[in-house]
Structures are given as structure tokens and as C-alpha cells.
Structure 1
Amino acid sequence: MQPTTKRLKEILKDFEGKEIIVVGDVMLDHFIKGSVSRISPEAPVPVVDVKKEFFVAGGAGNVAVNLAALGAKPVMVSVVGQDLGGEMLKGFLREKNVNIYGIAEDPDRPTTQKIRVMADQQQIVRFDRESKKTVSPSVASTCMKSFEMAVKTAKGVILSDYGKGMLSDHNIQTIIDTCRKHKIPVCVDPKIDNFKKYKHITCMTPNTKEAWEGAGESPKHGEEAILALGDKILNMLEAESVLITRSAEGMTLFEKGRKTPFTVRATAREVYDVTGAGDTVISVLTLALAAGATLREAAVISNYAAGIVVEKSGTATTTREEIEGVLPQ
């Protein structure tokens, strides 16, 4: 049964001021955009005539920015290098009203950066500056002390895993155990390498590709295959729920103790760019749960939010007002 528009608006109203902790891998996304009209005489490569250049917070940082845009009070727990990229990233997050006291600096690793060169909407090349090593014990300890401080007043936790070393086995277990102790929702956007380590969580939000890989299976076609896949992941993780995002097919929620999955159909009229849509889904889902929504209500609101951001260009966010605007009258 679909929740009423009145109920969804009540939940959205309660987003305001909710403190949500985001633990994960922050990144600095650097975009260089231009056009191509010739090939270089020095090598068989296109020459990009640069027209625009900008930076945004990526990875777990984009999750925190999404939360702030929705009226929440996000606390970021992560690590950056002692470099210009780290200073820029912290500055961007601060400007977006993200609390950054949980971001530690590590002199032995660079701030993760993704540098994309775009020509007429086509990505020409991407440069990555990063370390995938597990964060050192001393830096991890600093981060976890910040987490323990923030969790005393938090209403929810998001683990945003991009496989850059912030979410070690020990950190994952400590965070989940702490959330269960405080009885607050903990939701996970997984990296395949850590997929099976996220046991006893409130919800995991893999896309279809991640779900198949995480379950260790080859992709299969058909609705029955997806339903079997969701049940397998739910049991494997002993989780309260799993929400598989399915692009044009919407998303399907699997809940512990419920035999029948709940599918929400996609709402986007035109898909322009799916970049960052997963960050929006987990942000809205966790915030809705923190505001007292049921898992099904939270999934419905997340679906509307995802429909909005895929109609925008680039790593986009949405607001409560925009979500209200697309709800049925």
C-alpha cells in the first residue's frame, strides 16, 4: 500500500535539523569542460579548448551535501591529506553547511581527487589521485573518537564506501555495533569488496550491478531473478532490509519478516544524468527513517528524490520543496 501524499509531506517536514553522521571516503571532484575542434600535432589526441573549470565534493562528501540540501545537519567523518585538495574539500563542505570536525588529516596519504576532462558532454579522460590503503590506526582512532562524540546526538548513520580505506573491518563493526546499541538506523552504500561485512544493518542500497556482484552471482534477467537475489542478500547480511535500485525499473525493497517485496516504479520523465543518484537515495532514505518513516515510506520518498536528480546535469542534489512538488496531488 502506497503512503498518502499527506503522510509523505509530514515526513519531509521532519527532515529539518536531524543530525546524520556520514562515515566514508570523501573526494574532491575536479571538472574541466570545453570543446574539441582539432587533433594535436604532437600526438593523436584531441585538443580540448577549456571553457569552464570547477570543483565539487564527491564520494561520501556528496552524501553529506545532499543531506544539508534537505535541511539536515550532516556530520562528516573521514580523512583527507595535508594538501591543497584537502583544504579545498573541507572548505566546500563547510560552505554547504556540513560539520567537518570529524575529518582527520593524514600527512602520509593524498586527498582523493577525480579529475575529469569533458568535451561537449563526452568524458575524454579521467585522472585519479588517491590511496586505497587502509587508514592508519592512529588516524582511524581519531576518526572513531569523532564518531563516538557525534553519535550521542545523531538520529542516523550512513556508511558511504568507495573503497579508499576509511571503512576498515574494525571501523565497520564498531559503527554498526554502536548504532545498534543507540537504536539508530545505519544504512550502507556498499563497495563490493566489503559487501558481506555489513551485517545486522538497517538497510543496504546497492544498484542492480552491485547486488549481483555482491551476492557472487552472474546477472540474470527477469523479475523472479531479482526477487531471489534480494532475498539472498537480505539473509546473507541478516539485515533489516535491502533496497535494490533498478534504474528505469525503479527500486525494490526487501524487508526482514515480510515475504512480499515492495517495488516502487521510477518517476523520472527523462533521464539526463545518473551521476550521484545513489548518494541522493541513501541520503533521503536515512533521513526519512530518522524522521520516523517506515522503510516503505522511506523508499517511496527516496524514489521521488532520485527521479528529480537524474533529470539534472552532473552531481546534483534535491530539496524538500522539489520533492513536495512532484508528489501526487
Structure 2
Amino acid sequence: MTNVPVKRLKEILHAFNGKQIVVVGDIMLDHFIKGDVTRISPEAPVPVVAVKKEFFVAGGAGNVAVNLSALGAKPVLVSVVGDDLGGEMLKGFLRDKNVDLRGVAEDPNRPTTQKVRVMAEQQQIVRFDRESKKTVDSSVGAQCMESFKAALKTAKGVVLSDYGKGMLSDHNIQDIISLCRKKNIPVCVDPKIDNFKKYKHITCMTPNTKEAWEGVGESPRSGEEAITELGQKILKMLDADSILITRSADGMSLFEKGKKSPSTVKATAREVFDVTGAGDTVISVLTLALASGATLQEAAVLSNFAAGIVVGKSGTATTTVEEIEGVLA
């Protein structure tokens, strides 16, 4: 990829502040229980975890909103929680991170999505989930769409963060994309495989390599030629403006409508400690950059630098404009 001048990248970063970005998708409460294992239970052949640390963070679309807030943007979240303690905790965490919750509806007929992970020595012992994967009730969905339309009046970008928990239905996916196209507002998607082919006419989709292959229903093949064929196929299938395939140590490949060959962005991470949440950071920076007037290539370069920072941190991490500026060559 043609090198983007550092001065230009900094101009884009400085334009992040105060940009309103609407995040629509599935939010969840991530609960981590960490401890040590020194013995096996006498009751059953399972490890006994002596708990040392316990904490909660916002996951899914909630983490995208937290990423945007850390970058100086004004995220507005459109989603649904249950009428339960998990929902109240999740909303509290998000408020503390300056996330606008005007579009978060409450549905007493479904639980707040929660994922509880029990960890020992950096190893996950077990995970248990509380969730409903059913499409949200039509009245709740209509309420969320009204909130979305109101927020869109002052928005500069939209993120669709799909974790397959029912917030993004066939109907509202089409409505959201159509409204964004009419207003010339960039709409970027972090896809769930089941809904992959429904995201037509978007600005950009950001699947990782595994998701990209699964999205087209093909077995993975190695080599640059295979990746090029894959990206072009997705681009055509969705009639999208662009597809950004994230490829871990191999960086990123950006496919743009009307261009025969992809642009390659080399990975910048010096040390990979934890990839958790890196995709949320990529789509946050990408959308915010596009909302700030960046080209697709400039936005991809910045999101790559941001991803390189967060994978060097432990857990579901975020980054800041200052940190990104610090790693620009």
C-alpha cells in the first residue's frame, strides 16, 4: 500500500474528537472470574478454582461503543437489555464510559446477554452463557429503530456490530443501510456469519480470514491469490464499497469497488499478548476515520495501527488518539 504521510494520519486522528457515531447491535455483559488451581474436587473429576479476582466489562457492541468513547468520539448505542441485574450493571458500566444509552431498550421477556468465563493460569476452564438468540420482539425492535432514526440526524457514521443475539433482523438491517446511504453516512459492519450475505450496499465489512471463508461457504485456502479471489468474491456478493479482511500476523487486505487488486497493510504489532476485542477496535477506528474525512486506505492504515496497540494489552482493551499518535512512524 502507498504510504500515507504521518501528518495526514494525525490530521484525521485530531478530527475524531466529538464525532457522533451510532452503534447498533448486540450488547453483552462479560464476567471474568480468575484464580488458581491446585487440586481436583473430591466431588467430581473437575479442577477447583480458588478465586483471586473477579470483574465485569461491556462486551459485543458495548465494547465497540467503549472503544469509540476512548478515542474521543460520542457513541450512541442502539440495542436491547433484559429487565434484570445484568442489564442494570451493563448500563452502569457504559454510562461510566460516556456512552449515550438513549437507544437502549429494555425487554422483560429476554435476559441480558451474559458470558461468564472462569480462568486459571490464563487458561479458560469453563464458560457459561445466559442469552436469547431470538429476534427481538417487534415492538421493541420498532422502538430501537425510532431511536436510531433520531440519532442519525446528527451522526457522522454508523457501526453494525452483529453477534447473532437477535438485535439485527433482516428488516432493520436493510432499513439502517438504506437510511445511511440516503444520507451519505458511512456504515461499517462487523458481521455474524449467519447474516453475512444480508449486508449489501454497505461502506465496509471487516471480517477476519476465518469469518471471510465461512461467509462465502468455502474451505480456507492459503496464499495471496486465494485471499484476492476471496475478497473480490465478497465485494461482488455484497455490492459493497469495500471489504477489509483482517489477517493477524499478515496484516490486512483492503478490497475496494472498481479496483482489481487489493491494498495490503502490514501488521504493526511488536508483540501479541491478547487478540480479544481487536476486531472491535478495528471497526471503531475505521468508521471514525471515514466519518472524519479519511479515504478507505487512510482509514485502514489507522485501524491497523490501533489493532497493533490493543493486541499488546491484556484482556478486552481499548486505545486512544494519543497512543496511536505515539506509534506512527
Q: Assess same fold via TM > 0.5.
A: yes
Amino acid paired to 1:298: A
Output aligned runs, 1:1-329, within 5 Å. Answer: 1-328=2-329
Counterpart secondary structure, 1:307: helix
Counterpart secondary structure, 1:159: strand
Counterpart secondary structure, 2:159: strand
Amino acid paired to 2:84: D
TM-score, scaled to structure 2: 0.99
Q: Provide the rounded CA distance (Å) in 2 between the counterparts of 1:303 and 1:266.
A: 7
Q: Provide the rounded CA distance (Å) in 2 between the counterparts of 1:2 and 1:161.
A: 32
**Deviations, residues 38-66 of structure 1 (Å, cap 9, x unaligned):** 00111100000000000000000000000
**Deviations, residues 149-206 of structure 1 (Å, cap 9, x unaligned):** 0000000000000000000000100000000011100000000000000000000000
Q: Provide the rounded CA distance (Å) in 1 between the counterparts of 2:33 and 2:75.
A: 28
Q: Provide the rounded CA distance (Å) in 1 between the counterparts of 2:218 and 2:128.
A: 31
For this pair of structures, how many residues does the alignment match? 328
Q: Provide the rounded CA distance (Å) in 1 between the counterparts of 2:188 and 2:32.
A: 29
Counterpart secondary structure, 1:16: coil
Aligned residues: CA RMSD: 0.4
Q: Provide the rounded CA distance (Å) in 1 between the counterparts of 2:321 and 2:264.
A: 23
Amino acid paired to 2:197: K
CA deviation after TM superposition for structure 1 residue 120, in Å: 1.0
Q: Provide the rounded CA distance (Å) in 2 between the counterparts of 1:123 and 1:216.
A: 29
CA deviation after TM superposition for structure 1 residue 260, in Å: 2.1
Q: Provide the rounded CA distance (Å) in 1 between the counterparts of 2:89 and 2:71.
A: 23
Q: Provide the rounded CA distance (Å) in 2 between the counterparts of 1:36 and 1:213.
A: 36
Once superposed, which parts of structure 1, at least 4 consecutive aligned residues long, lie more than 4 Å away?
none
Counterpart secondary structure, 1:105: strand
Q: Provide the rounded CA distance (Å) in 2 between the counterparts of 1:74 and 1:2.
A: 30
Q: Provide the rounded CA distance (Å) in 2 between the counterparts of 1:215 and 1:321.
A: 38
Q: Is the 8 A contact 2:118 2:126 kept in 1?
A: yes
Q: Provide the rounded CA distance (Å) in 1 between the counterparts of 2:102 and 2:50.
A: 39
Q: Provide the rounded CA distance (Å) in 1 between the counterparts of 2:222 and 2:178.
A: 36
Amino acid paired to 1:147: F
Counterpart secondary structure, 2:125: strand
Amino acid paired to 2:112: T
Q: Provide the rounded CA distance (Å) in 2 between the counterparts of 1:170 and 1:79.
A: 16
Counterpart secondary structure, 1:301: helix
Q: Provide the rounded CA distance (Å) in 2 between the counterparts of 1:307 and 1:3.
A: 17
Counterpart secondary structure, 1:221: coil
Counterpart secondary structure, 2:145: helix
Q: Provide the rounded CA distance (Å) in 2 between the counterparts of 1:296 and 1:221.
A: 24
Question: Matched residues, percent identical?
Answer: 80
Q: Provide the rounded CA distance (Å) in 2 between the counterparts of 1:182 and 1:223.
A: 36
Q: Is the 8 A contact 2:228 2:261 kept in 1?
A: no
CA deviation after TM superposition for structure 1 residue 32, in Å: 0.3
Q: Provide the rounded CA distance (Å) in 1 between the counterparts of 2:127 and 2:326.
A: 36
- Uncovered stretches (5+) of structure 1, i.e. residues with no partner: none
Counterpart secondary structure, 1:94: helix
CA deviation after TM superposition for structure 1 residue 216, in Å: 1.2
TM-score, scaled to structure 1: 0.99
Counterpart secondary structure, 1:53: strand
CA deviation after TM superposition for structure 1 residue 320, in Å: 0.3
